């Protein structure tokens, strides 16, 4: 779940958060706040590149977080003020369904209370995009990067060239 999105200022950062969530194995992105253009931009990536990723824009992050916890899910909030990721990862990895919360510059104090873990990907200022990526890379222990997305477009890894397969409509995943 992405908090604190300001449509004009944050559109590219929030888009990167969404792309990272998808590419690193999340099932869904919840965007706190309304931004239909951003949602449809991400949906367009899913349409072309494949996978089952969903994007949902919601009015109240509190309602989402509360329902998630009532249903038995856990919440990890990524913040530079939190405990070291390396110390908490084993516990987090074995805890079942997980909602990962990333904020923008300011987040409501309440999320620190609602989260089961407040963890920092380091304690230096950097980027919610980076924090999410490193968190998920460590959560899945690198296996997320080998996932198949079965999209209409697919990259063939190459040491030197851009090699892309484009499947005609109807054949892709």
Binding residue positions for S-adenosyl-L-methionine: 78, 103-107, 121-128
Question: What is the C-alpha R_g of the chain?
Answer: 17
Q: In the chain, helix, strand, coil percent, each to 5? A: 40, 25, 35
The residue within the footprint of its own copies, chosen from 27, 93, 112, 173 (CB under 8 A), is 112
The residue within the footprint of its own copies, chosen from 40, 60, 123, 150 (CB under 8 A), is 123
**Chain centroid, CA 167 distance in Å:** 27
CA 17 – CA 153 distance, rounded (Å): 21
The residue within the footprint of its own copies, chosen from 98, 99, 102, 133 (CB under 8 A), is 133
119 DSSP β-pair partners: 83
Smallest distance, Å, CB 159 to its own copies?
A: 5
**For its own copies, which stretch binds (CB under 8 A), given 14-22, 33-41, 63-71, 92-100?**
14-22
**For its own copies, which stretch binds (CB under 8 A), given 33-41, 64-72, 94-102, 133-141?**
133-141
- H/E element, 55: strand 54-58
158 forms part of the interface with its own copies (CB under 8 A): yes
What angle (nearest 5°) sits at the alpha carbon of residue 167, between those of residues 164 and 173? 110
Q: H helices of the chain, where?
A: 7-23, 36-49, 61-70, 85-93, 110-114, 128-139
The residue within the footprint of its own copies, chosen from 1, 29, 38, 45 (CB under 8 A), is 45
43 forms part of the interface with its own copies (CB under 8 A): no
The residue within the footprint of its own copies, chosen from 126, 150, 166, 173 (CB under 8 A), is 126
CA 78 – CA 85 distance, rounded (Å): 9
101 forms part of the interface with its own copies (CB under 8 A): no
Q: Which residues bind its own copies (CB under 8 A)?
A: 9-10, 12-13, 16, 19-20, 22-24, 45, 49, 80-86, 112-113, 117-118, 120-127, 129-134, 137-138, 142, 144-146, 149, 154-155, 157-164
């Amino acid at each position: 779940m992405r908090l604190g999105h300001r449509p004009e200022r944050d559109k590219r950062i929030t888009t990167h958060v969404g792309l990272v969530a998808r590419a690193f194995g999340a099932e869904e992105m919840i965007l706190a706040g309304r931004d239909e253009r951003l949602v449809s931009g991400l949906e367009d990536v899913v349409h072309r590149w494949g996978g089952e990723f969903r994007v949902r824009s919601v009015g109240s992050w509190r309602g989402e977080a509360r329902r998630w916890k009532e249903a038995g899910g856990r919440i990890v909030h990524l913040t530079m003020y939190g405990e070291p990721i390396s110390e908490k990862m084993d516990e987090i990895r074995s805890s079942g369904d997980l909602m990962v919360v990333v904020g923008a510059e300011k987040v409501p104090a309440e999320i620190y209370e609602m989260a089961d873990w407040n963890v920092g990907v380091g304690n230096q200022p950097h980027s919610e995009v980076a924090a999410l990526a490193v968190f998920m890379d460590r959560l899945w222990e690198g296996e997320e990067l080998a996932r198949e997305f079965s999209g209409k477009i697919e990259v063939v890894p190459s040491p030197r060239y851009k090699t892309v397969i484009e499947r005609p409509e109807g054949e892709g995943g």
